[in-house]
């Protein structure tokens, strides 16, 4: 069976969204269980056809995607439609006709152990029309290779091939999933390299050793959700939740012992790498969730920042990460900031974007290796560097940075992994972290040492 996604230009930029209440009434009459019209942050949105991701008839929800210049609502309903079925008017119909067949689709049918994917299916009558209100059940031909949930989420468990089957009223369809052998190891921290300042693969409980850890009942160490099906950290956002927890690592010279450095607490580090594996649930929506990680120089007991190296996404949901450096140092090496996130006294030094669409539908459910580097400038010079690799590819780079002017009291002494969504999560959803390392040299991905010069 050929697996594909059908992309449909449902409406154009010039087509306004119908009045919310009227569209909701129409969708209810058509048999949808949830409203099809929404407002994003109280603003009406116009759909841009060029940004429509695909149709997911089974999950039936809308999400907002955009970049800085365009916005769109995306009807997510991953299903493979027959040729010619890409029609803006097709919605499941209420009918007493029996199910004559089932069509299916999967965003990805090739995974590694521990990765996930969303499969979708739609029951159809003898004329090929989608039928509303029919029960769809899921099964796997080999649950030891890949299991499937009642919602159609496939979890890869071990190398091999499994058929994921959708059934409705005795009619079935199947998608073949291939599970590849795991590339890396799940226990990196058993053999740490000498240049590593901090390593946590979460296979043992190191949470009490962090300088700070806050779960907010949302960021927890969980078995089975990490890289390769190992133990990792699960960040679970509730609807409209802003802060879903964080991990803070302090190291080197810090303003006071209360910062709890994980090393001796004396060295001044001027060149730091940090890396984390990240995976987004296959039904994730809304972009990257803003904050992911940052390195910084904490320069006072009040947590004033001499510099910050942000790895994050903007408030407008995009499918890519970007790097954005900031300085808290003024002329003659004077510390301008007085407290944490003292935005009026921060100087922003530019931004650059990655190329990998981590948050696009086709990327969800897969593990990505995200490694960053911040090298401070030599005192009085503008020769600092900020770099970001995705899966060992250098994708974003800023150079000529005057991170800290002539300030030399502290170096980089903090790296944070964060789950902070500025405007709140658009729905209940999860993302996952694993294999968090801070180092003075390149770290690389999947337990492989990086190629020199990359």
Residues 261-291 have pLDDT tens digits of 999 999 999 999 999 999 999 999 999 999 9
Query: Measured at the alpha carbon of residue 140, what is the angle toward residues 139 and 144, in degrees to the nearest 5?
Result: 135
Tokens 């695909």 belong to which residue? Answer: 54
Rounded to two decimals, the pTM is 0.79
CB-side neighbour CA atoms (13 Å) of 198: 32
- What one-character-per-residue DSSP string does 42-100 give? TB--PPPGGG----EEEEEEEEEEE-SS-EEEEEEEE--PPTT---TT---B---SPP-
Q: Looking at the chain, how many residues does it have?
A: 454
Identify the bridge partners of residue 217 per DSSP, sorted by sequence position.
none
Phi-psi sector, 78: left (phi>0), alpha (psi -120 to 50), beta: beta
- What one-character-per-residue DSSP string does 384-408 give? EEEEEEETTEEEEEEEEE-SSTT--
What is the reported pLDDT for 106? 79
Which has the closest alpha carbon to 48: 9, 86, 5, 79? 9
Task: Tell me the C-alpha distance between 368 and 188, whole Å.
Answer: 16
Task: Tell me the C-alpha distance between 448 and 425, whole Å.
Answer: 35
What is the reported pLDDT for 317? 56
Which percentage of the chain shows pLDDT scores above 70?
A: 79
Residues 245-269 have pLDDT tens digits of 999 999 999 999 999 999 999 999 9
pLDDT averaged over every residue in the chain: 82
Residue 22: pLDDT band by 50, 70, 90 thresholds? very low
Longest dimension (CA), the chain: 80
What is the reported pLDDT for 50? 29
Does residue 388 have a pLDDT over 80? yes
What is the reported pLDDT for 453? 54
Which has the closest alpha carbon to 379: 344, 410, 349, 342? 410
Task: Tell me the C-alpha distance between 129 and 123, whole Å.
Answer: 8
Phi-psi sector, 290: left (phi>0), alpha (psi -120 to 50), beta: left
* Residue ranges of domains in the chain, CATH in brackets: 1-181 (2.60.40.1080), 188-439 (2.60.120.200)
Under 8 Å between Cβ of 386 and 397? yes
Span 124-128, average pLDDT: 94
Does residue 367 have a pLDDT over 60? yes
Residues 178-231 have pLDDT tens digits of 999 999 899 999 999 999 999 999 999 999 999 999 998 999 999 999 999 999
What is the reported pLDDT for 318? 80
How far apart, in Å, are the Cα atoms of 433 and each of 223, 236, 247, 443?
A: 12, 11, 11, 16
């Amino acid at each position: 069976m050929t697996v594909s996604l059908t992309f449909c230009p449902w409406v154009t930029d010039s087509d306004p969204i119908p009045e919310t209440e009227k569209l909701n009434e129409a969708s209810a009459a058509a048999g949808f269980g949830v409203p099809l019209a929404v407002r994003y942050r109280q603003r009406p949105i116009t759909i841009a056809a060029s940004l429509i991701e695909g149709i997911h008839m089974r999950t039936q929800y809308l999400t907002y995607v955009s970049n800085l210049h365009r916005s769109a609502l995306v009807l997510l309903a991953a299903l493979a439609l027959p040729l010619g079925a890409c029609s803006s008017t097709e919605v499941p119909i209420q009918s007493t006709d029996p199910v004559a067949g089932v069509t299916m689709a999967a965003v990805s049918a090739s995974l590694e152990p521990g990765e996930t994917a969303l499969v979708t299916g739609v029951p159809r009558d003898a004329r090929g029309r989608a039928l509303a209100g029919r029960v769809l059940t899921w099964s796997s031909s080999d649950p030891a290779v890949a299991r499937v949930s009642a919602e159609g989420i496939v979890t890869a468990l071990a190398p091999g091939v499994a058929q994921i089957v959708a059934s409705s009223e005795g009619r079935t369809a199947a998608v073949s999933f291939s599970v590849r052998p795991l590339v890396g190891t799940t226990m990196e921290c058993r053999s740490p390299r000498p240049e590593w300042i901090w390593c946590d693969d979460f296979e043992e409980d190191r949470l009490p050793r962090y300088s700070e850890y806050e779960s907010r009942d949302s960021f927890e160490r969980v078995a089975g959700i990490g890289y390769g099906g190992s133990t990792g950290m699960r960040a679970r956002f509730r609807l409209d939740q802003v802060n879903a927890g964080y991990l803070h690592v302090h190291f080197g010279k810090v303003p006071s012992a209360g910062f709890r450095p994980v090393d001796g607490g004396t060295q001044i580090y001027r060149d730091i790498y940090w890396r984390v594996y990240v995976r987004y649930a296959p039904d994730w929506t809304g972009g990257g969730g803003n904050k992911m990680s940052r390195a910084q120089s904490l320069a006072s007991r009040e947590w004033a920042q001499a510099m910050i190296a942000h790895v994050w996404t903007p408030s407008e949901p995009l499918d890519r990460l970007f790097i954005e450096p900031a300085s808290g140092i003024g002329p003659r090496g004077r510390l301008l900031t007085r407290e944490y996130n003292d935005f009026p006294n921060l100087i922003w030094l530019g931004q650059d974007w990655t190329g990998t669409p981590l948050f696009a539908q086709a990327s969800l459910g897969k593990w990505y290796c995200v490694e960053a580097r911040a090298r401070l400038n030599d005192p009085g010079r503008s020769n600092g560097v900020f770099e970001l690799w995705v899966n060992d590819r250098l994708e974003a780079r800023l150079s000529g940075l005057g991170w800290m002017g002539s300030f030399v009291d502290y170096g980089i002494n903090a790296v944070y992994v964060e789950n902070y969504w500025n405007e709140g999560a658009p729905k209940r959803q999860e993302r996952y972290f694993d294999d968090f390392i801070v180092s003075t040299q390149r770290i690389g991905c999947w337990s492989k040492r990086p190629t020199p010069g990359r």
